[in-house]
Amino acid sequence: MKCKITFLLLLFIGLISCKKLSENKVMYLAHTLPQTHPVHKGILEFQKALAKKSGGKLKIKVFPDGQLGSEREVLELLQIGSVAVTKVSAATLSNFVPEYNVLGIPYLFRDKKHYFDVLEGEIGKSILEKGSKFWLRGLCYYDAGSRSFYTKNKAIRTPEDLKGLKIRVMNNQMAINMVNALGGSATPMAYGELYTAIQQGVVDGAENNPPSFVSSNHYEVSKYYTIDQHSSIPDVLIIGTKYWETLSEQEQQWVQEAADESAQAEKKFWAASVDESMKKAKEAGVEIIIPDKSLFADKTVSVVEDFKKNNPSMEALVNQIQQQ
């Protein structure tokens, strides 16, 4: 009941903001990340670029730190037109727009160049557009790095080293299937509980990108970090179609151009954050392991094939990405 009342309060705030949007051209942008995060810095570039392009006619008010709710709650506020813009993980977005599931396929991207070629090319743009029928128009992707395994007591150098290890994953079927295929025991768990769970041995490890590994302080309780880069799930900047349709063609152009510019700036913020995080982890005594990724990718072929079999409408999209 308390959760429901909180959500209704957030919805009321959103409805008030909707009125302000139409009167003052102030776009409300809500997200769940802290203000120190590289993606938040990218959002500030979006804010700056849009104000400049529009000559101050379009402004953005940013609500970070989950002030207006979780990723899912804010997406729902976008759908009804109460909030204009948000940034969410493609993993969360896949619950609304099925095509985003494809981006979570393990070892889908060969390297960083392939990743950006796909996201910034026709394939990536087509996925962004798929959300419009669900009232969630994609503007651009933000780099959210690659997820890799980290463990407390046992180094992971080959897939065989995962055998019998409890690995915390997001509550996402693709992630669960991937860890199980590699021989581990996938253990969905709330992120906020993970530090203590590793410390006390409830789980043997987890997986995430370097900035999250360090900012969460998980490097304090994990001795090994294996850079296998099994998944590269981007963040997505989304605008609700109900708000988008209130903008003139010129205003829509300003918004899209500002988003594209912010995505390029965010890449640099992310790269700097990865470098800084890896340095901090090494200084803390964490062993950084660079394994043969092909050994891990070979073990997850069945996960990819099962996905294609269970999602025949997306098989062509997966093949397109793999062949690019």
Report the range of poorest mean pLDDT among 21-35, 91-105, 248-262: 21-35
The pair phi, psi for residue 279, each rounded to 5°, is: -65, -45
Is the per-residue pLDDT at 20 higher than 50?
Answer: no
For the domain with range 147-232+284-323, which CATH number is right: 3.40.50.150, 3.40.50.1220, 1.20.210.10, 3.40.190.170?
3.40.190.170
Beta strands in 212-300 (DSSP E): 224-231, 235-240, 287-289
Residue 24 pLDDT: 65
Q: What's the pLDDT score for residue 170?
A: 87
pLDDT value for 295? 97
Taking residue 242's Cβ as centre, other Cβ atoms within 10 Å add up to: 16
Whole-number pLDDT of residue 23:
52
pTM (two decimals): 0.88
Q: b vs e for 285-316, b when ≥16 Cβ sit within 10 Å of the residue's Cβ? A: ebeebebebeebbebbeebbeebbeeeeebee
Q: How large a percentage of the chain has pLDDT more than 70?
A: 93
Q: How far apart are CA 89 and CA 275, in angstroms?
A: 22
* Between 18 and 126, the higher pLDDT residue: 126
- The reply to whether 147-232+284-323 shares the fold of 2-143+234-274 is yes
Token pair 């619950």 in the structure block, residue: 95
| Under 8 Å between Cβ of 162 and 182 | yes
Q: Is the pLDDT of residue 306 over 70?
A: yes
- CATH code of the domain made up of 2-143+234-274: 3.40.190.170
pLDDT at residue 5 above 60? Answer: no
Could you give the 3-state DSSP secondary structure of residue 152?
Answer: coil
And the tokens for 276?
Answer: 């800084």
* CA dihedral sign of residues 243, 97, 62, 120: negative
Contacts of 233 (CB under 8 A, 6+ apart): 89, 90, 91, 103, 104, 144, 147
**What would the pLDDT profile of 130-157 be if each residue is shown by its tens digit?**
999 999 999 999 999 999 999 999 999 9
Cβ-based neighbour number of residue 196 at 10 Å: 10
Output the six-digit token pair for 115: 């990743």
In angstroms, the CA 308 to CA 294 distance is 20
Domain boundaries, the chain: 2-143+234-274, 147-232+284-323
The pLDDT assigned to 50 comes to: 98
Q: Which residues are paired to 148 by β-bridges?
A: 208
